[in-house]
Every structure is written in C-alpha cells, then in structure tokens.
Chains A and B, each alone.
Chain A
C-alpha cells in the first residue's frame, strides 16, 4: 500500500513538474525518450566503431545477451533490484524513477550475496560512486562495498539477470580514489553501462565502454532516466 501511495505521489510530482515549467515534461517525454534512445543507439554504434577489434566487441556484446539488445534499443528492462556500491542516494533516485514509470523496483543498499533474492527481477542496477557520509552511516567502507556488490552481481548473473552499471550522480561522485574504485568494480562487472551526461563530461565512460566493448546508454540527467526504463 505504501509503495502504491508513493508511486501515486511520484506520478503527481511528475505532473507537477509539468505545471511548474519543468521543461514541458509531459509533452516532450516521447521526444526525449526518442532522443535518449537515439543517443544510446548512437553511443552503442560509436562504441562499436571505436573499438580496435570489432570482432572482439561483437563477441562481448553477444556474451551479454539480452543486455546488448536492450542497450541498442536504449532501454533497461524491469523489474529492477537496485543497490549502490558506495552507499550513495543513487539507488533511491533510480528507484523513484522506476516507480514513476510504474515499473516494479526495489532499492536496497544493504543487500548481500546471502540475502539476494532475484524474485521476478530482470535487471540488477548497481550505482557507482561513493558517499563518505553514506558509508559512515552504514558503518562500511569502499572495500567492503566492492566485496558486497561483487557478491551480489555474481548471484544476479547466476540467476540470469542483466547487470547495469550506473553512474547517475555526476562529477560529485568522481572526486577521489574511493569513487574510482567503486566505478572500476561496477563497470567491469556490468553488462550494460548507464550514465548521465555530467558524469561523462570528460568522456571517461564513453572511452571505457569503447575500450571494453560494453554497450552504454547515456541520458541527459537523472530525471531523464525514467525515459529509458521499461
């Protein structure tokens, strides 16, 4: 009931965004989605083109199965299980975007390999980047977070879920070695990468995707992520 109430509330918030001049959200959703899809497709193509070894890229994309196909459509598919490798609010943000789209989703920054229950989820999203405040609050550190997330990712892959590595909180989560360690862990284990423009303002994620043959979905900002969820 609480989830339904929250979903309804977020839906209202979406309507309100339109009402307060929020970039004509309602009228541009389709266009924005199309743009996001185009951008994602373009990025995937760019990634493939930029790869030194096209055959190797293709093999990597094939290995990711549905993930690759999804990425080429510029979409990620729910239901989602979402966690953060670094205790940032990124998982909460993605969870709210999913619920705004009416997609079943759960955010859990404490999930471990032992407690991981895939249920009917199709995708595990792990957000990268760390919060000193968040990790302090949870009594953990980046190394423990990496170990936790690697365990969860392994379980998710065993269960056949697509793993999305996300960086959606901008350069504020790319400030120190802890952030980079989190990013390295998440992206190296991801089938698909999801990043916002600000996070990739120096092209790091685009280059990483190209060098590692990973599909990448890029969106304008965190609020636009709802448009690539299905």
Chain B
C-alpha cells in the first residue's frame, strides 16, 4: 500500500517537474529573445537610454535610442513604441521608421521598446501568443508579444499602494510597473520610475519638440481611434484630426485633450515636464477586448473576431467592427500616417520646427502592400546596421 502511495507521489512530482521545466524553458526563451532591426543607412547614431541617465544602466530597460539627424536645422520629433508591450503596432511602426527613414530636415528619434521588461512575458491568464510575426519576402520577422506592464522578475515586490511621483496621485498597485503611469519618472525610484525619468532626460537633453506615443485599445474602451494631446498641442492636434479624418482614414481619428488631473501618462507629463508637445495615438486592437474569442497570433494580426463583431451589432463598442476586422497593416498604417501628419502640420504652425523626411510608405501604400516589404533581412544586412531590441 505504501509502495503504491509513493509511486503516485513520484508520478505527480514528475508531472509537476515536467510542467515547471517546460514552462521555465518557454519563459526563458521569450525573455532572452532579441529582436533584430536593420537600421536605415541614413541613421546618424544609436545611443543607449543610460547615456541620458545612468540609473538604468545594466537593467533590461536600457533600450536603444535611434537618432536620425539631417544636419539641417529644424524640429525634433520622438516616436515611442511599446510603452504598453501588449500593443504591438507601436513597435512595428517604430521599426518601419528605423529601417527606412531618411530625414532631410530636422531630427527624428525613435524608441522602439519603452518598456523592454514588459515585452519579455505576456499577461498572466490571457493566453497571449509569446511572439508575433510578419511575413516578408525574405522570411518571417519576429517580435516578442508582451504584457501591459513590466515583468515582476525585474521589479518586485509591488507596493501596497502606488503613489505617483511627484503628483501624489494614488494608482493601482501594479501600475508601478506600467511605464505609462510613471512619467515623468523618479531618479531614485523603482525600475519603471527610473526608466521614465531616463526617457524624460533624453527628451530634455535632446531638445525634443514633440513626442508621439503609439498605443492600441480594446473596442469596448471609449478612448479609441483617437489622438490625445497636451494642451500646448491643441491646435496641431485638432488640425491633424480633421485632415486625417477628412482626407485619409476610413474610420475617423478623434482628438481629445489630456486631463490635467490624470498623472503618469506621456500626453500629460512629457508636456508638463519638458518643452515638448506630447501626443498619444490609439488604434483599435480587438485582441484586447474582454469578449474576444480564441486568443492567438491570427487574432492579433488579422484583428478579426466574431464575438467582438457581434458586440458591435449590439452597440457595445466605441469603434466600428465588421467582418474585415482591424488588420495589422491598417493599424500600423494609421500610426505611421498620424506621425507624418503631426510633423507636417506642426511645421506649418511652428516654422522653426519643420521636419521633412523620405522613405516612409504612405497610408495607402501600407494598406496595399502590407507591412512586410518595409522590413529588411538581418541575415544579409551589413553587421554594423543590425541592432537588437
């Protein structure tokens, strides 16, 4: 009888060890995977975030800062992706800029992975795919799918109550690992606070005139297909919204002002704590909806889900949703075009901040061609043009 009990115990132990081993391997594989990016031949410099504040040196969030300087006086724009790593169009749009950009006046700075830590694991209980891929003519380009917040492996434990610095606003405890609740950062804080502080230092030291933070949102959320702008960017934001809605996008791009009492977000704090005008762009991502069906890479990339579509028929969504869904190329195209239009309009309102550039596909070109043609093969690119995020 005792022998039989021991056999059962050993059996269970073996199963548990197997499960732990497999899970551990998969976690480790995602954590150490690095995303290759083939930078445009017109890039000026690739710096590290710790070059602006050494409090992040040696941490996983010491990300690359890609700088394109035309050498011609003008404005400076910073593009930010993966502030929320579970919203993948940000990193895809940033990569599209990094791999193809030629700035002819002013400067463009790109930060692909604002919260690298959050891109090394997915959200618990959501069954997200660990990676997502884009077909190209040379093979698959592969990125890490992430969580909304940083990994507890990099910042743990969370405080009982997260009190935002310096506003004193009480926020949910886990938001201490949410980069878009930690701006303008805290130099002696936890990892996410230090990361935001370092990025603010980058913005201040580089004299950035405007920032655009790429996001995605569930269709059940009212801040959808929208740019949220700091008050100092109200004129430009309104014009960008009207122009893109009228001339380019099939689904309107709304505009709203950044709430002055809601702290920690880029559209509020970057504008308040630097000379830059801050923008945040949202686009629909059905995979983030609570009512979605099977959660896999297919849903992430196609943006098609019959359950979300059904919710739309009942008026439960803040974005249109039909059988065409929200495919990745449309979501990326909206972000890329929004960035372009902000720079165009801002240059007319602020003639000393003109930025002109070439090499980036138009909204229609991305819709027609998909994203694939705009990413390059790292295996055949010169080694000095391949960087890893």
Contact = CB atoms under 8 A, between A and B. Distances in A.
B245 interface: yes
Interface stretch (B110-118, B345-353, B365-373): B345-353
Which 6 A-B residue pairs are closest in the complex by CB-CB distance?
Answer: A223-B246, A136-B259, A172-B254, A137-B260, A137-B259, A222-B242
Q: Chain B interface residue count: which class?
A: 35 or more
B345 A139 contact: no
Contacts of B247: 17, 21-23, 223
B222 interface: yes
A209 B146 CA distance: 50
Contact of B258 (A12, A17, A133, A221): A133
A13 B348 contact: yes
Given A92-B238, A137-B259, A223-B246, A9 B351 contact: yes
Interface in B311-364: 318, 344-345, 348-351
Interface of B: 222-226, 228-229, 231, 234-235, 237-239, 241-243, 245-247, 252, 254-262, 318, 344-345, 348-351
B234 A22 contact: no
A222 B258 contact: no
A206 interface: no
A89 B237 contact: yes
Contacts of B234: 89, 92
B137 to A, nearest CB: 28
A198 interface: yes
Contacts of B258: 133, 137
Interface of A is mostly: helix
Interface in A6-65: 6, 9-10, 12-13, 16-17, 20-23
A133 B239 contact: no
B243 A133 contact: no
A170 interface: yes
A196 to B, nearest CB: 9
A23 B243 CA distance: 10
A87 B261 CA distance: 14
B348 A222 contact: no
Interface string A74-94: 000000000000011100110
A13 B226 CA distance: 21
A21 B228 CA distance: 26
A220 interface: yes
Interface in A186-228: 198, 220-224
A169 interface: yes
Given A23-B247, A222-B245, A134 B222 contact: no
Nearest to B237: A89
A139 to B, nearest CB: 7
A223 B245 contact: yes
Given A132-B222, A137-B261, A224 B246 contact: yes
Given A6-B235, A9-B348, A133 B245 contact: no
25 contacts: A6-B235, A9-B351, A10-B239, A21-B247, A22-B246, A89-B238, A89-B256, A92-B234, A92-B235, A93-B241, A93-B242, A96-B235, A96-B238, A96-B239, A97-B242, A134-B256, A134-B259, A136-B259, A136-B260, A137-B258, A170-B254, A198-B252, A222-B242, A222-B246, A223-B243
A105 interface: no
A93 B246 CA distance: 13
A224 B246 CA distance: 8
Contacts of A23: 246-247
Q: Chain A interface residue count: which class?
A: 35 or more
A177 interface: no
Interface in A121-156: 131-134, 136-139
Scoring A23, A132, A223 by chain B CB atoms within 10 A of each residue's CB, the highest score goes to: A223
Contacts of B238: 89, 92-93, 96
Scoring A9, A88, A132, A133 by chain B CB atoms within 10 A of each residue's CB, the highest score goes to: A133
A97 B235 CA distance: 11
Nearest to A173: B254
A87 B260 CA distance: 13
A88 B239 contact: no
A175 interface: yes
A136 B262 contact: yes
A16 B262 CA distance: 35
A175 B261 contact: no
B348 A220 contact: no
B110 to A, nearest CB: 23
A9 B349 contact: yes
Contacts of A89: 229, 234, 237-238, 241, 255-257
Scoring B229, B254, B256 by chain A CB atoms within 10 A of each residue's CB, the highest score goes to: B256
A89 B230 CA distance: 11
B234 to A, nearest CB: 5
B259 A221 contact: no
Scoring B229, B241, B242, B261 by chain A CB atoms within 10 A of each residue's CB, the highest score goes to: B242
Contacts of A139: 261
A77 to B, nearest CB: 21
Contacts of A92: 234-235, 238
Contacts of B237: 89
B254 A133 contact: no
B125 to A, nearest CB: 28
A133 B349 contact: no
